[in-house]
A and B are shown apart, each in its own frame.
Chain A
Amino acid sequence: MYGFEALTFNIHGGYLEAVVRGHRSSLLTASDYNNLCQCETLDDIKMHLSATEYGPYLQNEPSPLHTTTIVEKCTLKLVDEYKHMLCQATEPLSTFLEYITYGHMIDNVVLIVTGTLHERDVQELLEKCHPLGMFDSIASLAVAQNMRELYRLVLVDTPLAPYFSECITSEDLDDMNIEIMRNTLYKAYLEDFYKFCKKLGGATAEIMTDLLAFEADKRAVNITINSIGTELTRDDRKKLYSNFGLLYPYGHEELAVCEDVDQVRAALEKYPAYQSIFAKLSYGESQMLDKAFYEEEVKRLCLAFEQQFHYGVFFAYMRLREQEIRNLMWISECVAQNQKSRVHDSVVFIF
C-alpha cells in the first residue's frame, strides 16, 4: 500500500537509509567549493580536502599530486561506501543497488572496446575504467572483433546480457557502431531499470520513475545534438530514444527530425519542465547545455531526499557523489592548468 511504507521499510532498509543520509550530509557545500576555487596549487586542494571526509583517502599521497590521483582517491571513497551498502543490503535493495552500477559497466565495456580498436594496451585501459563498473573477465573484451563475439565470449555472463538482444550484429566494430552500441545498451538498461522500479511500487516507483524519465530525456537531447551532422539516419536516431519519459512519444518524433540546436530548443520549449533549462542559454549556444542539465538534475536529486522510506535516496546519493567528483576534477584541472577564471564554468553546487 502506498503511504504505509513507514510501517515496514525500516525492518530491512532502515539501517542503510540512515547510512546513506549520513553520507549525504557529508557532501561538499557551496562554501567548500568557494574555498577550493581559491586554491592556487593542487597541494592546497589536498589540504582543503583533508578537512572534509576525503581526508583519510588523500592523506597518504606524496606531495607532487596529479589530478588523476585526486579523482581516483575520491572515486575510491565512493566505491567503498557503495560496497559497504551493497553487502549490508537485502533483496530487493541489493538488486536496486546493482542496477545503479550497470551504467558504469556499459561505459567500461565501451571504453575497452574503443581502446582496443585504437591499439591501446589493455592494462592501461583497465586502469581508466570506473571501479564501480568492473566485473570479472572484463579484460577479455579486448579480444572481440565484432559484437557477436563480444556477446558470446564475455557479456553473456554479465548482467548486461539481456540488453544485447537489440544490437547484436556481425559488423565489425568501429567508432560509429560503438557509439550506437553504447546508446542502444543504455536505452535497454534504462528501460529495464524503469520496469524494475515500477515493479517495486510505492514511493520508490514514483520518485525513481521521475528521475529516470529525466535521465532518458537528457540522453535523448544529447543524442540528438551529438548526431547532428553525422551520418546517423533519422530512423536510427529514433531507435536510440528510450520508450518512456516526458518526451515520449511526441517529443521524440520532433527531436528525430531536428537538424540544429535551435530546432532542438524549439522542440523542448513545449515542455514547461525543460523550458527553464534552455532559458539559461542564449540562441545558438550549446556549450553550457551540459551544465544546465546537470544543475537541473542536481535539483531533482536533492528533492529525492525530502521523502523517507524509499530507495531513490541511494540512487540520488550515488549520482550526487559522482557530480561532486566531476566538480573536483574540473576544479583540479583548472588549478593545475592555471585557468582559474574558467573554474565556475562547470562547477555545479549541490547545496
Chain B
Amino acid sequence: MDFVNKLPPMDFLRSEEMTLVQLIIPVESAHRAVSYLGELGLLQFTDLNADKSPFQRTFVNQVKRCGEISRKLRFFKDQISKAGMVSPIHSSPQPDVDLEELEIQLSEHEHELIEMNANSEKLRQTYNELLEFKMVLQKAGGFLVSGQHHTVAQERELDENLYSRDNYADIPSFLEQETRLGPSNEAGLRFISGIICKSKALRFERMIFRATRGNMLFNQAPTEKYATDPMSVEMVEKIVFVVFFCVAGYQEANPAVYTVITFPFLFAVMFGDWGHGICLLLGAIILIACESRLGSRKLGSFMEMAFGGRYVILLMALFSIYCGLIYNEFFSVPYHIFGGSAYKCRDATCRDAHTAGLIKYRDPYPFGVDPSWRGSRSELPFLNSLKMKMSILLGVAQMNLGIILSYFNARFFGSSLDIWYQFVPQMIFLNSLFGYLSLLIVIKWCTGSQADLYHVMIYMFLSPTEDLGENQLFWGQKPLQMLLLLLAVVAVPWMLFPKPFILRKLHLERFQGRTYGILDTSDMDLDVEPDSARHHVDEFNFSEVFVHQMIHSIEFVLEAVSNTASYLRLWALSLAHSELSTVFYEKVLLLAWGFDSILIRLVGLAVFAFATAFILLMMETLSAFLHALRLHWVEFQNKFYHGDGYKFRPLSFASLPDDED
C-alpha cells in the first residue's frame, strides 16, 4: 500500500480538478459582474431555476429588453448585407457597454432606417410606374400605328396603364374596366394597354379570351429594360449537427491513457501481416507529412476521420508490422528473416513431408512462427491453438487492468466500501477461474504437456474431487483447483450481500441526528453540503439498492465468462485475415503466374493488387478497427468506466461567435 501511495499522480489519467462555487451578488452589480466573468471565460454557470417558467425568473424584463436589442441588431445586419456592405469588426472590445444608452441609440437608428427604407421604397415604386408608363406608350403606340389600317375605330380610349407587381393583383381593376364598358353602345373597337409579368402573359391571354368570349386581339411585345422586382426575402437554412460522444465522469480514470497503446496493439493482433502493415505505414506517413496542407482544407467525412486519426493509424501500422513478423506473414508468404528454419525433411527427397512430417534438428526459430509451418498438414491446428491461447492471455490481462483501474478510482474517491466489497471479490472471482486458466496455458506451453485444457476446466467444476489422470499439469493441482473453486464460490455472495446492508447502516447513522432538526424550522436549508447529500435526504430505498447490487454482481459473474470468450475474436479475425491473403496469393497471383502469357500475368497481378487494396487493406482494416474498439468499449471499460460526465462549457464572450457557427 505504501508503494501505491508513493506513486506520482498521472497527469492525463484524471480530469482537471474543478471547484463548485456559489456566487451571491447584489442585484445592481449583477450585470457588471457577469459580463466581467464572461470576458474571463473560465466559469460555467448552472441553471438553478431550471424548473421555473420564463416569467418566474428574476431578470425576465431585462432578458426581454436584450431580446429586443438583439432583434434590432439582426435587422441592421440584414440591411447592411442587403446593401452589399461589410461591417467593420472592432478588434478591441469596449470596456463597458452601457446597455441603456445602447438601447436608446439603437431604437433611434432603427426608426430612422425604417423611415428611410419606406421613402426609398416609395421613390422606387414611383420610378417603376413611370418607367412602365413609358414602355407601354412606346410599344402600344407601335401596335396602334401598324393596326390603324385595319381598325374602324371611332373612338379610341387610352385606358389606365397597369403595373404588375405581385402575383395576383393585376387583373381585377383591368377587367372591371372592361366589363363596365361592355354595355356601351358604340360599335367599335376598344383597346386596353398595360404591362404584365412575362410569366403571366399566357394566363392573362386565356383569361381575356374567356372574358370577352373570344372577341379579342392580343398583341404583346417584350420590354428591353427590366423594372426591378421587389426584393425577395431569402431564408437561410442552418443545419445543426448534433455529435454524440461520451465524456468521462468528474475525475474518474480516463481509459484513453491506456487505450492509446492497447488499441493499436489489439488491432495488430487481428491484422498481423507485415506486408499489409508496411502499406498502412506508407498511408499514415503520407497523411502526417501532408498534415499542414490537408489540415486547412475541407475534406469529405471519410477522409476527415482518417486524417483526424493519422497518429493512431501510424501506431496501428507499426504494431501490425511487429505482429506480422511474429506471425511471419508477408502478404501471407513466410520468410526466413531471422535465420533458417528449425525443421528439415527426414530425407533429401522430402517425400514424407506431408505424411510423416518434418523433424526438428536445431534450436527453435528465434522470433516468430517458424516458416516451415506454412503449407504443412498441421498448420491450422497449431496456429489456431497458438492464437486462441494468446487471445485468452491478452483478454485476461486487459480485464485485470480494468478491475485494477476500478480499484484506483475507488481509492481516489475514498470509497473503501467499493474496495473491500467490490474490487476484492471481483479480482478473486476473475483470477481464480480465468487467471488460473491463463496459468495453465503458460504451464502447458512451457512443459509441452498433452493435457486438454477444456477438460481440465470442465472437470474442475463438474467433478473437482476426482483424480486428474492425464489432465495433471503440475504437482498439487487437485487441491489447488478445489481451493480456487471454493474462493470463486465465496466471492459471489461477497460481492452481492454486504454492500447494501452496510450502505443502509451508514445512511441511518448519518441522518439519525438530523431528523429531529426538521421539526424546528421548515425554512432552514439543511443541505449546506454539496449535491450528494441532497439525494440522500429522501428515503434510502433499500430494495432498490439491493436489486441494483444484485444486477451488478450477476452481470459481473456472467460477463466474466462471456467477455473472456469474446476475446477469442482476436483469433478469429487473424485467422480470417491470413486465410484471405493466402487465397488471394495462391489462387490469384500464383495461378496467373503459372501461365506463360504476359497478358494473363498482368491481369492476375492487377486482380491481386485490387483485391489486396480493397478487401485486405480497407475492409479488413475497418473490421479489425471495429472489433478492437468494441473490445475496449465493452470488455475493458465496463469494469470501471462510467462516462456520465459533461463537457465544461464556460461563459466566454470570446468563444460566442464560434458557438454561433
Known: A47-B67, A59-B71, A152-B210. A137 touches B55 (CB 8 A): no
Interface size class of B (residues with CB under 8 A): 20 to 34
Known: A47-B54, A143-B172. A153 touches B64 (CB 8 A): no
Known: A60-B71, A136-B203. 19 other contacts (CB 8 A): A35-B53, A35-B54, A38-B55, A47-B60, A48-B53, A50-B67, A59-B67, A59-B71, A122-B172, A126-B168, A126-B169, A136-B200, A137-B207, A140-B172, A143-B175, A143-B176, A145-B179, A153-B210, A157-B203
State in angstroms the CA–CA spacing of A154 and B161 once bound together. Answer: 23
State in angstroms the CA–CA spacing of A55 and B75 once bound together. Answer: 16
A136 partner residues in chain B, CB cutoff 8 A: 167-168, 200, 203
State in angstroms the CA–CA spacing of A33 and B211 once bound together. Answer: 51
CB contacts under 8 Å to B, within A136-162, are: 136-140, 142-143, 145, 152-154, 157
State in angstroms the CA–CA spacing of A206 and B175 once bound together. Answer: 47
A60 partner residues in chain B, CB cutoff 8 A: 71, 74-75
Sample of 29 A–B contacts (CB below 8 Å):
A35-B53, A35-B54, A43-B64, A44-B55, A47-B63, A48-B54, A48-B55, A59-B71, A59-B74, A60-B74, A122-B169, A126-B169, A134-B168, A136-B167, A137-B168, A137-B207, A139-B169, A140-B175, A142-B172, A143-B172, A143-B175, A143-B179, A145-B179, A153-B207, A153-B210, A153-B211, A154-B207, A157-B203, A157-B206
Using CB atoms, name the residue of chain B closest to A80. B235
Q: Is A123 an interface residue (CB 8 A)?
A: yes
B169 partner residues in chain A, CB cutoff 8 A: 122-123, 126, 139
Shortest CB-to-CB span from B471 to chain A, Å, is 55
CB contacts under 8 Å to B, within A94-141, are: 122-123, 126, 134, 136-140
Using CB atoms, name the residue of chain A closest to B65. A63
Q: Is A11 an interface residue (CB 8 A)?
A: no
A50 partner residues in chain B, CB cutoff 8 A: 67
Q: Is A28 an interface residue (CB 8 A)?
A: no
Using CB atoms, name the residue of chain B closest to A123. B169
State in angstroms the CA–CA spacing of A47 and B168 once bound together. Answer: 35
Known: A43-B64, A152-B210, A153-B210. A139 touches B55 (CB 8 A): no
Q: Is the CB of A62 within 8 A of B71?
A: yes
B75 partner residues in chain A, CB cutoff 8 A: 60
Q: Is A51 an interface residue (CB 8 A)?
A: yes
Shortest CB-to-CB span from B171 to chain A, Å, is 4
State in angstroms the CA–CA spacing of A145 and B176 once bound together. Answer: 11
Known: A137-B203, A152-B210. A143 touches B171 (CB 8 A): yes
Q: Is B205 an interface residue (CB 8 A)?
A: no
Shortest CB-to-CB span from A97 to chain B, Å, is 21
Contact code string A57-71 (vs B, CB < 8 Å = 1, else 0): 001111100000000
Using CB atoms, name the residue of chain A closest to B178. A143
Using CB atoms, name the residue of chain B closest to A32. B53
Shortest CB-to-CB span from A80 to chain B, Å, is 8
B171 partner residues in chain A, CB cutoff 8 A: 137, 139-140, 143
Using CB atoms, name the residue of chain A closest to B168. A139
State in angstroms the CA–CA spacing of A62 and B139 once bound together. Answer: 44
A153 partner residues in chain B, CB cutoff 8 A: 207, 210-211
State in angstroms the CA–CA spacing of A107 and B542 once bound together. Answer: 64
Q: How many A residues have CB within 8 A of the partner chain?
A: 30
Shortest CB-to-CB span from B182 to chain A, Å, is 11
Shortest CB-to-CB span from B203 to chain A, Å, is 6
Contact code string B173-198 (vs A, CB < 8 Å = 1, else 0): 00110010000000000000000000
A interface residues, Cβ below 8 angstroms from B: 35, 38-39, 43-44, 47-48, 50-51, 59-63, 122-123, 126, 134, 136-140, 142-143, 145, 152-154, 157
Q: Is B579 an interface residue (CB 8 A)?
A: no
CB contacts under 8 Å to A, within B224-258, are: none
Q: Is B170 an interface residue (CB 8 A)?
A: yes
CB contacts under 8 Å to A, within B43-57, are: 53-55
Q: Is B586 an interface residue (CB 8 A)?
A: no
Known: A43-B64, A44-B55, A47-B64. A139 touches B71 (CB 8 A): no
Shortest CB-to-CB span from B196 to chain A, Å, is 12
Q: Is B159 an interface residue (CB 8 A)?
A: no
Using CB atoms, name the residue of chain B closest to A143. B175
Q: Is B68 an interface residue (CB 8 A)?
A: yes
State in angstroms the CA–CA spacing of A142 and B207 once bound together. Answer: 13
Shortest CB-to-CB span from A251 to chain B, Å, is 41
Indicate which residue in B55, B172, B175 contacts A39 across the interface (CB closer than 8 Å): B55
Using CB atoms, name the residue of chain A closest to B53. A35
B63 partner residues in chain A, CB cutoff 8 A: 47
B53 partner residues in chain A, CB cutoff 8 A: 35, 38, 48
Q: Is the CB of A139 within 8 A of B210?
A: no
State in angstroms the CA–CA spacing of A76 and B53 once bound together. Answer: 26
Indicate which residue in B71, B168, B206 contacts A138 across the interface (CB closer than 8 Å): B168
Please give me the 7 A-B residue pairs with the lowest Cβ-Cβ distance, nearest first. Answer: A139-B168, A140-B171, A143-B175, A142-B172, A35-B53, A122-B172, A139-B169
CB contacts under 8 Å to A, within B605-648, are: none
A143 partner residues in chain B, CB cutoff 8 A: 171-172, 175-176, 179, 211
Q: Is the CB of A51 within 8 A of B168?
A: no
Shortest CB-to-CB span from A125 to chain B, Å, is 10
Using CB atoms, name the residue of chain A closest to B74. A60
Using CB atoms, name the residue of chain B closest to A149. B211
State in angstroms the CA–CA spacing of A123 and B168 once bound together. Answer: 9
State in angstroms the CA–CA spacing of A134 and B166 once bound together. Answer: 13
CB contacts under 8 Å to A, within B121-177, are: 167-172, 175-176
B67 partner residues in chain A, CB cutoff 8 A: 47, 50, 59
B172 partner residues in chain A, CB cutoff 8 A: 122, 139-140, 142-143
State in angstroms the CA–CA spacing of A14 and B172 once bound together. Answer: 44
A140 partner residues in chain B, CB cutoff 8 A: 171-172, 175, 207
Shortest CB-to-CB span from B378 to chain A, Å, is 51
B55 partner residues in chain A, CB cutoff 8 A: 35, 38-39, 44, 48
A142 partner residues in chain B, CB cutoff 8 A: 172
Known: A60-B74, A60-B75, A152-B210. A51 touches B54 (CB 8 A): yes
A43 partner residues in chain B, CB cutoff 8 A: 64
Using CB atoms, name the residue of chain B closest to A44. B55
Shortest CB-to-CB span from B397 to chain A, Å, is 46
State in angstroms the CA–CA spacing of A59 and B71 once bound together. Answer: 7
Shortest CB-to-CB span from A122 to chain B, Å, is 5
State in angstroms the CA–CA spacing of A323 and B351 once bound together. Answer: 90
CB contacts under 8 Å to A, within B575-609, are: none
A152 partner residues in chain B, CB cutoff 8 A: 210
A48 partner residues in chain B, CB cutoff 8 A: 53-55
Q: Is the CB of B54 within 8 A of A139?
A: no
Using CB atoms, name the residue of chain B closest to A51. B54
A123 partner residues in chain B, CB cutoff 8 A: 169
State in angstroms the CA–CA spacing of A122 and B171 once bound together. Answer: 11
Shortest CB-to-CB span from A157 to chain B, Å, is 8
State in angstroms the CA–CA spacing of A145 and B68 once bound together. Answer: 48
Contact code string B20-59 (vs A, CB < 8 Å = 1, else 0): 0000000000000000000000000000000001110000
B206 partner residues in chain A, CB cutoff 8 A: 157
State in angstroms the CA–CA spacing of A183 and B617 once bound together. Answer: 70
Using CB atoms, name the residue of chain A closest to B173. A122
Using CB atoms, name the residue of chain A closest to B107. A63
